[in-house]
Amino acid sequence: MNSAARPDDDTGLDGKVAIVTGGGATGDGIGNGRAAAMLLARAGVSVLVVDRKVELARRTVEMIAAEGGASEAFEADVTSNGQCEAMVAAALECYGRLDFLDNNVGIGSRGSVVDEEPESWQRVMRINVESMFLASKHAIPAMLASDGGGAIVNVASLAALLPSRLTAYSTSKGAVISLTRAMAVDHGRDGIRVNCVAPGPVHTPMVATPGMADELREARRKASLLRIEGTGWDVGQAVRFLLSDQARYITGQTLVVDGGTMLRGPTRF
């Protein structure tokens, strides 16, 4: 039996280097990016934690350091081409290589095309889609210049597959899924896998701010077929899996992390 195909192989994460964008979170809260960064660090990955608010990234770094992991904080607005280029350069300067990218930045928006203002629509597209284009544009050559190959995870949303009066947001996250598939086709020959995670109504600091009524939080929990509340850890685990060698034969796919919410039909959260 070919040893490369053995199901008991390890994750292949130890000694690798990752960039996690949107890796900060308010206080000690566990958002999707912070969870991914911490879980990757636990597996032996050196992580460049990127956030527009560097103090949030620094707190993630402190939490990783408390567990004995390796990471550095970096301040960047990933809607800027120049700052994405600098982000990748910083990872190479810190760690000498780049293997993984977790594109985790995104914002929400409510309303129909009639409700949405053009400026808001453009902002959602720029932050939710263009940021992933720019980060990947600079990360992929760095991956190829390392040992060749690598893996990227783009974080979309269940709203891309199950719209619920979040038109600009749903459209942007649908574009993330299409971008993922296109990148998988373009870079598969380079040994770079590109996949997508689509979280359902998980509870994170971003969702909870500036406040969420207990009734809404309970409704979100009950939307799951499992009747449990999803968290940033659930999304982070999916990201770590898709970046690992355990997903070596998976590319261009969207992994829905929603506790079965999609099977219940449209619900507004």
Asked, for residue 63, whether it belongs to a domain, the answer is yes
pLDDT per residue as tens digits for the range 204-223? 677 766 666 777 777 777 78
Query: Which of the four pLDDT bands, split at 50, 70 and 90, describes residue 5?
Result: very low
Q: Is the pLDDT of residue 40 over 70?
A: yes
Average pLDDT, the chain: 91
Nearest C-alpha neighbor of 27 from the set 51, 63, 77: 63
Mean pLDDT of 127-132: 98
Asked, for residue 159, whether it belongs to a domain, the answer is yes
List Cβ neighbours of 101 (8 Å cut-off, separation of 6 or more): 18, 19, 21, 135, 136, 139, 143, 150, 151, 152, 153
Q: Is the pLDDT of residue 142 over 70?
A: yes
Count CB neighbours of 117 within 10 A: 11
Mean pLDDT of 152-180: 95
Mean pLDDT of 232-251: 97
Asked, for residue 158, whether it belongs to a domain, the answer is yes
Cα separation of 46 and 2, whole Å? 29
Q: Which domain holds residue 253?
A: 12-257
Asked, for residue 269, whether it belongs to a domain, the answer is no
For the chain, what is the domain count? 1
> Domain containing 35 — which CATH number?
3.40.50.720
Asked, for residue 263, whether it belongs to a domain, the answer is no
Asked, for residue 184, whether it belongs to a domain, the answer is yes
Mean pLDDT of 117-137: 97
Cα separation of 255 and 218, whole Å? 24
- pLDDT in the model for residue 163: 86
Residues known to be catalytic: 169
Count CB neighbours of 221 within 10 A: 16
- pLDDT in the model for residue 221: 76
Q: Is the pLDDT of residue 9 over 80?
A: no
**More confident site: 130 or 263:** 130
* Highest averaged pLDDT of the listed ranges 5-19, 204-218, 229-243: 229-243
- pLDDT in the model for residue 4: 47
Cβ–Cβ under 8 Å, residues 23 and 39: no
Asked, for residue 36, whether it belongs to a domain, the answer is yes
Mean pLDDT of 142-157: 95
Cα separation of 69 and 46, whole Å? 7
**More confident site: 266 or 85:** 85
- pLDDT in the model for residue 255: 98
pLDDT per residue as tens digits for the range 61-107? 999 999 999 999 999 999 999 999 999 999 999 999 999 999 999 99
- pLDDT in the model for residue 202: 84
Instruction: For strands 192-199 and 150-155, give the pairing.
Output: parallel
Count CB neighbours of 185 within 10 A: 12
Segment among 120-124, 171-175, 218-222 with least mean pLDDT: 218-222
Asked, for residue 266, whether it belongs to a domain, the answer is no
Q: Is the pLDDT of residue 267 over 60?
A: no
- DSSP H/E element including 140: helix 131-145
